[in-house]
Chains A and B, each alone.
Chain A
Amino acid sequence: METKSSPWKKIAAIIAAILLITGIALIFMLPAPQTRHYPKRIEVRFWHMWTGEWASVVDNIAQEYNRNQTKYEVVPLSVPSSAADTKFLLAVSGGNPPDLMAQWNPVIPSWADKKLLTPLDEMMTPAEWKEFQNTAYPVAKKIGIYKGKLYGVTTGTNVWALYYNPKHLREAGLDPNKFPKTLEELMKWGDKLNRYDKRGNLVRMGFLPGWLAEYAPIFDGGFYDFKSNKLTLNSPQNLRALTFLVDARKKIGYNNVVRFESGLLSSSNGSGDWPFIKDFYSIALDGQWRVEEIRKLAEDTKKNGGPWDFEYGTAPVPPPTGGKSAAGFADGNFLVIPRGAKQARGAWEFIKFWSGIEKPERAAKFYTWGGWMPINAKVANAPAYQKYVRENPQFKTFLDLMPSENLEPSPPVSYQIFLVDRIGRTDDFATRGSLTPEQALKTLEHDIAAEQARRKEYRYDVN
């Protein structure tokens, strides 16, 4: 079986080996790239979870800051999100935290509860703290404040609203300019927009209302009363919201909905396109970042000489009777300073610079680089931001939601991620028809009560 190799083969192998070795040697002789541009300044170690072009936006903001003052140098490090929390927690537990971290997972209550984060209000002057409390949008405060102390400054809130395809609406004889003012009416529009193939399979969804955490506030419910600081899990409003979501699926058939949605999975997971722009939905609920995404896609397509005729509009979710308008779920990107950070002051200066707590007019530019929602009205009204909104008129729907008191982030309890997972589970079991809405909410209430009992037994904080 051992074949005698010909001399040519041997020579070829030797040449290949030499080339390979030279190549590797060349690589190893490369100079190490520079990470510091101002080696004499104090280094502020900044970890964030952005990657790709988003990481470049963050790098640019840091560079801008480094150019703007002479004391600190912010050095960003992209820590991809699948390992970010683990790396962060290990570093903090080992006493070697970064000076600043940008996060978007709901971690503030649990990390603050474990004394992992520096209270930022203590870094502010009393005037600054007062100013923050007066000017920051309510949702930014709900996300950043835990038990009266500020732990995170949001540099980009995520809010959700409806995207609609005017072409589909016109085809179905609906007037995009008379967009529904009630949820009931919107559901009727949705029915008219559904399309089926010959076999009776759904091929285009008119409108499918999304998930419980978004709809509970719309139905005047929600999982937390931010005034009395109490969980409100199994309320009649939440039950109404969940029943509404379940009924919408029951009408089409649980299995059909799952089949339709998972049929899209390959595209949402695979080729980077969003089902809405591929005409699979006529009206879809999604976050503000899609505006920026579509803008980029259009730009890219045109650059490559392709036609671009995609048309879309946005609108807030209309409330049901007895519900609330400008309501829904919200979460955000925010900046935190770990406890034990060596350069907390430098980190704080950078937070003020980026967020627009200091000089909102200057910071407005950064928000437009990422297509991020502003932290307060001053940033929103700054010329740079207004210009962005004029160029992307669909963005206004989202901006208009920001001052609302009805946006609800995940409840700020110390076991927040556990609670968020359980709410997701409630949603999952009910909208697939395995549990009735009543049963699902009762299970949620029971599970959380059990967790609270366990935490009490362990002498942990129960709130």
Chain B
Amino acid sequence: MSTKSPSGLGKYQRLGVHAALIMLCLPFIMPLIWMVSTSLKAPSQIAMKSGESAVAFSAKNLLPNPVKWDNYPKALETVPFAVYLRNTLFLCFFSVIGAVISSAVVAYGFARIRFKGRDSLFYLMLATMCLPGAVTMIPAFALFRWLGWYGTFLPLIVPAFCGNAFYIFLLKQFFATIPEELSEAARIDGASEWRIFRQVMLPLAKPALATCALFQFLGTWNDFFGPLIYINDPTKYTLAYGLQQFLASHGTEWAKLMAGACIFTIPIIILFFFAQKTFIQGIATTGSKG
């Protein structure tokens, strides 16, 4: 790592930035802290009387005492965790692959090839995002049923392979920032559009692709509604559905719910922690070396 970063900060300035960042972080990390702390509490502590004012979140109350580690095995026993995890990973894998590849291809078409009707089609694509799902759900459901896909994973996977308007737009914006000369040079060398896309554009768009993959993964991981609507077999549900099983209309067991939520969330946080390094490998790195 070079001593002189683009931000060019001195030692004390760095300390100041750290202090500011830590302060800023506090409200953002709060949900996680609360989740973890509640997941380790005994029910009696959660329902502890707190006397004069409604302090459910005081510092004293934040620390679990006694620490109940067995909330975790209990939570894992409540739902068929492994089965749900398998289904979730299965869905995540295909929808991420499908959405990222197809969106990248389509975005390249919109960004770099001047074909007839391009702008109107692009506008149409944006328009598809503007109609609330609440009203298109019935015809879409009827369609999937007519296709015989009701009760299978197909309605949740196949549409991903047709690209996602959000990612297409995002990738188009990224492709558009890449200098035209790069592809022009390849074109003069006789490369096909497909090769330019594969060998010139995709490597440069890695941070943007990683961003799309992350969003799609998160979306699928958290999607509770889609699987619930289209699937009727309890062994085909996902973790997001399993998490709902901890929520009860009366007398939710918060410790168990939050233990479930931690199991559900912490892998994603770790994944994000490592994945975000991919964002750093933009053209910036290639540039700094050149």
Give the interface of A toward B (CB within 8 A): 1-3, 24, 27-28, 30, 32-33, 35, 45, 49-55, 77-83, 86-87, 90, 93-96, 104, 197, 203, 263-264, 266-267, 270-273, 275, 277-280, 289, 292-293, 296-297, 300-301, 304, 306
Contact = CB atoms under 8 A, between A and B. Distances in A.
Contact of B150 (A94, A104, A197, A273): A94
B253 interface: yes
Nearest to B86: A27
Contacts of A104: 249
A297 B285 contact: no
A27 B89 contact: yes
Contacts, number: 149
A273 B46 contact: yes
A94 B145 contact: yes
Nearest to A197: B52
A50 B248 contact: yes
B283 interface: no
Contacts of B126: none
Contacts of A264: 54
B49 interface: yes
Given A30-B82, A83-B225, A96-B150, A52 B57 contact: no
Interface stretch (B97-105, B136-144, B172-180): B136-144
A197 B53 contact: yes
Contacts of B254: 270-272
Count chain A CB atoms within 10 A of each CB in B51, B138, B249 and give the residue with the most.
B249
A273 B56 CA distance: 10
A297 B253 contact: no
Contacts of A296: 251
B248 A53 contact: yes
Contacts of B241: 80
B60 to A, nearest CB: 13
Interface stretch (B20-28, B36-44, B162-170, B205-213): B36-44
A77 B229 contact: no
B137 A90 contact: yes
A54 B46 CA distance: 20
Given A50-B248, A271-B254, 7 more contacts: A24-B89, A83-B224, A90-B137, A90-B138, A93-B142, A203-B52, A278-B49
Nearest to A299: B43
A50 B249 contact: yes
Interface stretch (B114-122, B194-202, B231-239): B231-239
Interface in B87-102: 89-90
Contact of B246 (A27, A52, A203, A292): A52
A80 B251 contact: no
B229 A87 contact: yes
17 contacts: A30-B86, A32-B83, A52-B248, A53-B253, A80-B245, A83-B224, A86-B225, A90-B141, A90-B229, A93-B141, A94-B145, A96-B150, A203-B53, A267-B56, A273-B46, A278-B47, A289-B250
